[in-house]
Structure 1
Amino acid sequence: MPLPGRVLMTGTPRALVLQAVDAVRPLLAEVVHALHADPELSFAEHRAVARLSAVLEGQGVAVETGVHDLSTAFRAVAGSGPFEVVLCAEYDALPEIGHACAHNVIAAGALGAMIALAPLADMLGVRVVLLGTPAEEHGAGKQLMLERGAWDTATVSLMVHPSSGPDRWPDRVDRSAVHRLRATFRGRASHAAAAPEKGVNAGDAAALSLVAIGMLRQQVPDGMRLSAFIREAGVATNIIPALSVVDFEVRGPDVEAEAAVEARVRDCFQGAAIATGCTVEITETEPLYEQVEQDAGLTLLFAEAMAQIGRPLDPADQPVPGGSTDMGNVSRYVPSLHPTVSIRGTDASLHTAEFAAAASTSEAVDAAVDSAKAMALTVVALAADAPLRERYLAAQVSRPPYAASR
């Protein structure tokens, strides 16, 4: 007997998942708007997890929260068997500008796909897992969950990210590697007028390091991005600062390119320390985000799904930059897909107030619904492709647990 409020549906698996997503469109719209109106930062997404869990449980999908030693991670499972499809939901926001990366739309789309697939999982011969993954923006929640075994039994993994502009072929959106670090300079305080010669100016070291990084930018390979800002460098004009702190990141096409340029950026900080007489300590503030490797088989199935819902993709798209994500770390361990679905009607860049506004429109709800449909259709097609299933299962059997693979 269907749960109260659920519609009894019949037809092929493809028709069933499309009907199921359409049936919960009002719920997905509520998720899009509720999360958008109540943004929470990385590792503090408690209200989002409560809302998402309540929606899933209201649709008959049990949820376990606080998994993998993260209070704002959750896990929901449907079906059984060795072929495990892991869907990912993100729901953290950005400081000051809220859901300017539309993680509210990501969460709603993932919920829609799970709700559609859950009743069919055993019939399809798959185990569908929805992982709630906190702290994508800052903190690399998926990397922490990888280390704690979240994907050890996964066969494949996928999620969909909103974008602006046209829909694009998945690997035409570059998802680069990024490493975020902190340089702490220590000098010696002194009166800036009475005894400046006795001071060692950590503020100068911070400023000099940014100048050095600025000059380095001309000599790094195309596709590299260097960003930094001074977090702390003094408390009063008449005190030579004894401490300064610079946060910085190095972003590149892959982890090898990132590491090579990061070494040169570190030299900029060492040079600034030598020039000013300070010491410098460089520490990691977040785990390394690795580049996304889009799985070819999943890409083709997703493209077919997008065509079926009226969003055809073109493999001849020109590459565009797309930032970084901890889904890259997952993709280098498990065959994965991290495509985009456009919020139509906006060309605003992500991480802007304009894109945050777009993430609460009716078009954002459309993007969540279409993301859910595309993911669900991809899983249905994968379940029906016996050779592809066997290929992924063989790769899974030969893959060690994540902790043993590092």
Structure 2
Amino acid sequence: MSTGPHQHRSECPTGADVHDTCRMAVQRHGSALIGLSRSIHAEPELSFVEHRSAGKLTELLAAQGFHVRTGVAGLDTAFTADYGSGEFVVGLCAEYDALPEIGHACGHNIIAAAAVGAGLALADVAGELGLTVRVIGTPAEETGGGKVLMLEHGVFDDVAVALLVHPGTEDVCTPRSLAITDLEVRYTGRAAHAAAAPELGVNAADALTVAQVGIGLLRQHLEQHQMVHGIVTAGGTAPNIVPASTTAVYNLRAADCDSLQRLENRIRACFEAGATATGCGHEVVQVSPVYAELACDEWLSEAYRTAITGLGRKPLGRAVAREWVIGSTDMGNVSHEVPAVHPTIAVECGTAVNHQAEFAAACASASADRAVLDGALAIAETAVAAAMDGEQRARLLAALRRRSESGVRRSSKAYCASGGVT
């Protein structure tokens, strides 16, 4: 692989040398990283069509000597960018998809730029530390499960650690995520004139209403951390036509995949009740791969805590952090296979939270720029800490060998036994 233009100073670097090198690299590339974040933010793109965003990332990395592969895992907007040839492969996950209508309201522009920044920092020490630095461009986190698909296609097979930093309202080293599955229910009835011959109609909207009532009544019996939220995506065309078809999309979340499966079974029963009560046909389609809950590596999370605290930030305490729910992420699946971290880094956003337009605005601010640089350096230093600690390096490489020897690569259904299409 290319060694690029970077200069390495010592065959046996000290910890201070390595950390100084990483810090100076982030400073040197700071303007480019902030510009990258702002540029992605200005042109938001939805899941699987993030062509401009992926191109901006790969262009910058290629210019710095990274070996870039595009279209990996059969996904047009997925990529890998490698630097170095060491046995210790550091995977730096970049997300860059946006949300419909409200753009980068989850701050994936910051995630992407921080991943590139960490990659550039680690490239300057890759030779000394025996690293392969891999920036992994992972599309479709908001919906579609890009990381799950890339995991199934072997993109993470040789990765020793996988790192990602996500913007949020607080600095949280070990946030909690929920397992999630996305289901679309489709009801099929029969159209008729709503006034002249209503008795000839089979009302698909009524089927959906019955299902919604069932789900509403079920809410009082949900387990802790189980959640159900959905929208009607098609409910009929005119009030004087009995609706022949309706569809709705539901997110189901739970503390873990076992609880998620129990929830899914009950929601599917509500869907079936709607069909039974009205005489409609119905099918349930899994829209995206199942996302597992996060299971991040404790040692790596503590290394990140040390790094981010050293930058003047004050992360939440450990006990509070473990109950800090951030929603759901396909990084959860990666964390079950590869030792990983997924901390959040605070952006000044007033009373706004992720997935609000106000948070999107905050993700192109001076505070967001600082988050890019701090996040890049903190995850780079986390990787450095693991690579330079003999015991931890051995542990992580041994885990990688066990994965490789097993030859087992789990699909999303291995985490949660989804029912698929019915």
Q: Give the TM bin, normalised by the shorter chain.
A: over 0.9
Greater mean deviation of Cα atoms: 9-18 or 89-98: 9-18
2:273 aligned with 1:271, yes or no? yes
Say if 1:79 and 1:128, in contact at 8 Å, map to a contact too.
Answer: yes
Say if 1:92 and 1:103, in contact at 8 Å, map to a contact too.
Answer: yes
What are the superposed Cα offsets for residues 50-102 of structure 1, whole Å, 9 maximum, x if unpaired?
A: 11112112222232211121110111111223221111000000000000000
Q: Separation in 1 of the partners of 2:116 and 2:327?
A: 24
Of residues 336, 340, 348, the one that matches 1:332 is 336
Letter of the 2:64 partner, please give it.
Answer: Q
Say if 1:101 and 1:355, in contact at 8 Å, map to a contact too.
Answer: yes
Q: Separation in 1 of the partners of 2:276 and 2:73?
A: 43
Of residues 311, 317, 321, the one that matches 2:320 is 317
| Percent identity over paired residues | 43
Q: Separation in 1 of the partners of 2:183 and 2:308?
A: 38
Q: Separation in 1 of the partners of 2:4 and 2:264?
A: 54
Say if 1:100 and 1:357, in contact at 8 Å, map to a contact too.
Answer: yes
Alignment partner, residue 84 of structure 1: 89
2:346 aligned with 1:346, yes or no? no
Q: Separation in 2 of the partners of 1:381 and 1:347?
A: 35
DSSP 3-state at the match of 1:189 = coil
Alignment partner, residue 371 of structure 1: 375
2:128 aligned with 1:126, yes or no? no
How do 1:193-232 and structure 2 match up within 5 A? 193-232=195-234
Cα separation, partners in 2 of 1:226 and 1:345, compared to 1, 3 Å: closer
Q: Separation in 2 of the partners of 1:268 and 1:398?
A: 43
Letter of the 2:89 partner, please give it.
Answer: E
Of residues 356, 360, 385, the one that matches 2:360 is 356
DSSP 3-state at the match of 1:371 = helix
Q: Which stretches in structure 2 are left out of the alignment for 5+ residues?
A: 11-15, 415-422
Q: Separation in 2 of the partners of 1:205 and 1:345?
A: 42
What are the superposed Cα offsets for residues 240-271 of structure 1, whole Å, 9 maximum, x if unpaired?
A: 11111111111011111111011101111111
Offset, 1:316: 3.6
What are the superposed Cα offsets for residues 146-168 of structure 1, whole Å, 9 maximum, x if unpaired?
A: 1110111111111100001x312
Q: Separation in 2 of the partners of 1:320 and 1:296?
A: 16
Of residues 49, 52, 63, the one that matches 2:54 is 49
Q: Separation in 2 of the partners of 1:211 and 1:228?
A: 13
Say if 2:7 and 2:124, in contact at 8 Å, map to a contact too.
Answer: no
C-alpha root-mean-square deviation of aligned residues, in Å?
1.9
Of residues 93, 97, 102, the one that matches 2:98 is 93
Alignment partner, residue 184 of structure 1: 186
Cα separation, partners in 2 of 1:80 and 1:210, compared to 1, 3 Å: same
Alignment partner, residue 387 of structure 1: 391
Say if 2:4 and 2:66, in contact at 8 Å, map to a contact too.
Answer: no
Alignment partner, residue 17 of structure 2: 12
Q: Separation in 2 of the partners of 1:192 and 1:297?
A: 64
Alignment partner, residue 175 of structure 1: 177
DSSP 3-state at the match of 1:52 = helix
Of residues 150, 155, 166, the one that matches 2:155 is 150
Q: Which stretches in structure 1 are left out of the alignment for 5+ residues?
A: none
Alignment partner, residue 110 of structure 1: 115
Q: Separation in 1 of the partners of 2:314 and 2:240?
A: 63
What are the superposed Cα offsets for residues 272-325 of structure 1, whole Å, 9 maximum, x if unpaired?
A: 111111111111011101101011111111111112211243324352221000
Cα separation, partners in 2 of 1:194 and 1:345, compared to 1, 3 Å: closer
Q: Separation in 1 of the partners of 2:247 and 2:66?
A: 46
Q: Separation in 1 of the partners of 2:28 and 2:20?
A: 12
TM superposition score normalised by structure 1: 0.95
Say if 2:178 and 2:292, in contact at 8 Å, map to a contact too.
Answer: yes
Letter of the 2:18 partner, please give it.
Answer: P
DSSP 3-state at the match of 1:179 = strand
Say if 1:188 and 1:242, in contact at 8 Å, map to a contact too.
Answer: yes
Say if 1:303 and 1:312, in contact at 8 Å, map to a contact too.
Answer: no
Say if 2:94 and 2:137, in contact at 8 Å, map to a contact too.
Answer: yes
Say if 1:7 and 1:23, in contact at 8 Å, map to a contact too.
Answer: no
